Structures are given as structure tokens and as C-alpha cells.
């Protein structure tokens, strides 16, 4: 399989690179439009969605990423990455835009501030064991469109993992807890999509 791209503008992209490396999965750091050529999937990491939004515009990556999403490139967004994949946001910063693709409403900072961060074991549809996940100023999915499947919920029922076709979005950070199962799940999505693009 071709390498998986990791958007390396801001946030915890290193942890994603290390997680794939620990699985023996080849990656490419995506910082300019040409880096999208030939990748089999793209990860949008956690960090600060407003900053990734702005940097994607200054690095001329916003339009090509949106085009790739519509063409069916497998995409995996964690936390800020989930925010960037939502079609609609609650509590967006003024002027904040997303790439979109997921027919959902995502509420930013739904659990409060940095001090309200926590870890929890989450059941994830398609993964046989529970996933140890860190929630850091995490968003939640508050509304779900028809074509969207819920893959993970907290014990209280709040939705923290969704998939719509080629797009996977989760509120939490498996990449900081040494968890590889969701990255394996995404690598399987990339393998079966067998996406090819000349940019």
C-alpha cells in the first residue's frame, strides 16, 4: 500500500507518525499540495482547529484537501481533525472554517477547558477490545446526518466516533496512549479504498 499522509502543520502529528511507524506502516509528512500525490489516506491530527484552518490556507492545502475528500481519499481526523471534517460547528471561533465532508454537527470544547481533560476506555464498533482514549479539550458530535454511522460513544451516550464512507472522525487521541487499533482500522480503510490520484 502507498504511504499514509499525516498533515504536519500544527498539533500532535509526531504522535501519529510514531504510531504508524510502530505498526510498520509507511507515512509521508504533508506540508504542501504536492505531498498529497500518491498517498493512500490522510490523517488530520489533534491540535487547534482554528490554527490548522488558517495554516491550511496559507500553505495552499485547503482546496486540494477538500478536492481529495470529495474524490474519496480516506481521511482520519482526531479531535481538532474531527472538527475540521465536520460540515457544521457549534461554538466555532469567529471566521473559523472547516474542510467538511462529515454530515454532522461537532461542538468544540464540549467538556470544558484543558483541566477538564480525561482518559476513558471506549468501545469502538469494529474493534474487539475497548480502546484506551485521551480526551483533551475534546469536541463531541451533537447531530448526525443520515449517511453517518456512530462507531463510539462514551458511557453517558455522547458520540465520540463516527464514520461516513471514506471519512473517519473521533473526538479523542488514541495516538497519545500507545493505542494502535484505530490506526489499524484506518489503515484497513485505506487498503480497501485503494485510492489513486495524480493530485
Active site residues: 79, 173, 175
Does residue number 136 form part of the binding site for ligand GLN (CB under 6 A)? yes
CA distances for 181 relative to 23, 37, 115, 144, angstroms: 10, 26, 27, 24
For the bound state, the minimum distance from the C-beta of residue 74 to ligand GLN, rounded and expressed in Å, comes to: 20
**Interaction residues for ligand GLN, span 145-184 (CB under 6 A):** none
Q: Which is nearer to ligand GLN, 40 or 107 (CB)?
A: 107
For the bound state, the minimum distance from the C-beta of residue 26 to ligand GLN, rounded and expressed in Å, comes to: 25
CA distances for 63 relative to 4, 93, 134, 149, angstroms: 19, 21, 31, 26
Does residue number 16 form part of the binding site for ligand GLN (CB under 6 A)? no
Region near ligand GLN per CB under 6 A, out of 34-42, 45-53, 155-163, 189-197: 45-53
Among 2, 18, 109, 181, binds ligand GLN (CB under 6 A): 109
Does residue number 137 form part of the binding site for ligand GLN (CB under 6 A)? yes
Residues that bind ligand GLN (CB under 6 A): 46-49, 79-80, 83, 108-109, 136-137
Amino acid at each position: 500500500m502507498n504511504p499514509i499522509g499525516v498533515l504536519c502543520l500544527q498539533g500532535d502529528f509526531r504522535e501519529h507518525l510514531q504510531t504508524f511507524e510502530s505498526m510498520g506502516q509507511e507515512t509521508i509528512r504533508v506540508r504542501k499540495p504536492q505531498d498529497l500525490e500518491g498517498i493512500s489516506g490522510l490523517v488530520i491530527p489533534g491540535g487547534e482547529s482554528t490554527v490548522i484552518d488558517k495554516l491550511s490556507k496559507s500553505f495552499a492545502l485547503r482546496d486540494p484537501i477538500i478536492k481529495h475528500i470529495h474524490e474519496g481519499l480516506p481521511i482520519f481526523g482526531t479531535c481538532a481533525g474531527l472538527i475540521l471534517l465536520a460540515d457544521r460547528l457549534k461554538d466555532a471561533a469567529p471566521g473559523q472554517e472547516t474542510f467538511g465532508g462529515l454530515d454532522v454537527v461537532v461542538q468544540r470544547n464540549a467538556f470544558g477547558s484543558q483541566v477538564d481533560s480525561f482518559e476513558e476506555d471506549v468501545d469502538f464498533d469494529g474493534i474487539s477490545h475497548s480502546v484506551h482514549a485521551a480526551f483533551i479539550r475534546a469536541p463531541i458530535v451533537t447531530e448526525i446526518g443520515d449517511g453517518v454511522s456512530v462507531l463510539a460513544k462514551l458511557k453517558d451516550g455522547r458520540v465520540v466516533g463516527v464514520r461516513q464512507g471514506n471519512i473517519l472522525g473521533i473526538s479523542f487521541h488514541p495516538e497519545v496512549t500507545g493505542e494502535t487499533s484505530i490506526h489499524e482500522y484506518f489503515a484497513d480503510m485505506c487498503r480497501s479504498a485503494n485510492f489513486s490520484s495524480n493530485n
